[in-house]
Structure 1
Amino acid sequence: MVKKGKQERTVIHLEMNGEHYYLGSLAAIYQFFDSKTLGISYGSLRNFGLSHEKPYQNKHCIIRKGVLLTISKKNDQ
């Protein structure tokens, strides 16, 4: 449960070749990397059902879905 004044945002964590990338959506991944590099198409990744409990992994990358916790801009605590 998130406390008042806090916000949750989905974050996609891409791990590839020892590097870590954090993106705001699955679609954003494909703005920076192509299907060949990732080893999976956008449609297939959407159909996979990515979740916190179910990351996607192949020989090219690991893609995880998580939550980014932030405070509100008003700083109401």
Structure 2
Amino acid sequence: MKSKYLRVERKPIHEGQCVAEIRVQLLEDDAGWSPYLSVDEAYVLDGVREALRQGDLETAAWYGRIYEMRPIAGA
């Protein structure tokens, strides 16, 4: 059996003018596909992306921080 451990990172999800910063647990092991998300973590990211797409900031904010992106004048 291969050893596994968790690593927590922040993953940005961008949709439209909003970005959600979501904490996810990445699984790491001796396999060639490390690090990777669990299926549950992938569903969370998909749910947040869909909430942002629909403008449901309350649901998206339940999972992490939400930021609004605005253009900077003159840039």
Verify same fold: TM over 0.5.
no
TM-score, with length taken from structure 1 = 0.30
Indicate the structure (1 or 2) with the bigger Cα radius of gyration.
2
TM-score, with length taken from structure 2 = 0.30
Write 1 or 2 for the structure with the bigger share of helix: 2
